[in-house]
Homo-oligomer: A and B are copies of this chain.
Amino acid sequence: MLRIGVLGCGRIGRMHAANIAAHPRTKLAAVYDVNRAAADEVAAMLGVSALASADAMFDTSDVDAVLIATATDTHVDYIERAVAAGKPVLCEKPIDLDLKRVDRCAANIRGTKLPIMIGFVRRFDPGHAAVRAAIHSGELGELHQVIITSRDPGMAPAAYIRVSGGIFRDMTIHDFDMARFMLGEEPVEVFATGSRLVDPGLMAETNDWDTVTVVLNTASGKQCIINNSRRAVYGYDQRVEAFGFAGMAISENRRAHEARLYAEGLTDRAQPYLHFFIERYREAFNAEIDDFVDAIESGRQPSVVFEDGRLALVLAEAAMKSVAERRVVRTSEIGGGNV
């Protein structure tokens, strides 16, 4: 049983802590949060101790590995301290909002053999993974287009939006990783457009966008379209379509059950989609932990590594520049392709 300590007891940290506690291959070792009350609550619920400081987490020999789910601006520091302490890391996305800081961190941890995993959980979704398998098996022939639809059920709280780093680094970042996961080669050009349609006031205040479309191109001409919205009233909308010379695969949405209603004037009415990421990616979060444990046990790198986190951020920065300057941005302008 791998003993994992969790840093950060916000929404996602609490979920990870509970998953780790229930996972057959891991044990929740301890939790920490800068907000002591939050840590205490999670600790009490899951029957572990809340540590008084992050240092305590890195220092103790009772923690084999750490999961970082704290505020984004602390990620880099904690990754570096974990590496210094010799503890494998599973870090939530994004690594940081500042690509330069990410590059410095990369330099600082260069050479480590410790597994450093970035939490792009969607790669572990069984449906998305099946689409990728269809690509990689050759079943779809040469890949031509990828279409990623990713819409949240509702606008995040204003307080969160204000510190999120903007939609591209907070939300689309998952889709940038999914694009790379599916395309199998790096995008070289990025075009993005953003609109303020869901909450124009908040978006204007934060200079952010709630409705975006991104087009990525690879050198060989593969095209990837991402569309995002901060609000989908029918539930969390998470689809991936891969279209190739010999066929197409689509990962469709999921529901809590498949009861269908037929009545006057309608047929086949189904439930809303699973509400949000905790429900939709439940199996994926567990598979992510499995991959992390496998990597540690077998001495291999995890399926999603630090550089994946960095390259998704390159695409996010390119998209931000594209929206700001209303032009196509080459990833080479940002730093894609070379660490």
Contact = CB atoms under 8 A, between A and B. Distances in A.
Contact of A193 (B131, B191, B260, B268): B191
Interface string A256-276: 111111111111111111000
B262 A247 contact: yes
Interface in A205-263: 211-213, 215, 217, 221-223, 225, 227, 229, 231-235, 237, 243, 245-263
Q: How many copies of this chain does the complex contain?
A: 4
A127 interface: yes
Contacts of A3: none
Given A144-B229, A233-B246, A270-B266, A257 B126 contact: yes
A109 interface: no
Contacts of A259: 126-128, 130-131, 134, 249-252
A163 interface: no
A211 B215 contact: no
Given A145-B227, A193-B215, A247-B262, A267 B256 contact: no
A212 to B, nearest CB: 8
A60 to B, nearest CB: 24
Given A144-B197, A193-B223, A227-B145, A268 B265 contact: no
A190 B247 CA distance: 29
B258 A246 contact: no
B225 A225 contact: yes
A135 to B, nearest CB: 11
Interface in A156-195: 189, 191, 193, 195
A171 B252 CA distance: 28
B145 A213 contact: yes
A305 B197 CA distance: 31
Given A256-B126, A267-B235, A248 B262 contact: yes
Nearest to A131: B259
How extensive is the interface on chain A, given as a class? 35 or more
Contacts of A198: 144, 245
B246 A253 contact: no
Given A127-B259, A145-B227, 17 more contacts: A127-B257, A130-B257, A134-B259, A144-B195, A189-B193, A191-B193, A191-B215, A195-B223, A197-B245, A213-B223, A235-B267, A249-B259, A250-B259, A252-B258, A266-B271, A267-B271, A327-B328
The 9 closest A-B pairs by CB, nearest first: A195-B221, A247-B263, A127-B257, A130-B259, A126-B257, A234-B262, A252-B258, A248-B262, A269-B269
16 contacts: A22-B22, A126-B257, A139-B261, A189-B326, A195-B217, A195-B222, A197-B245, A198-B245, A233-B262, A234-B262, A247-B264, A249-B260, A249-B261, A266-B271, A267-B269, A328-B328
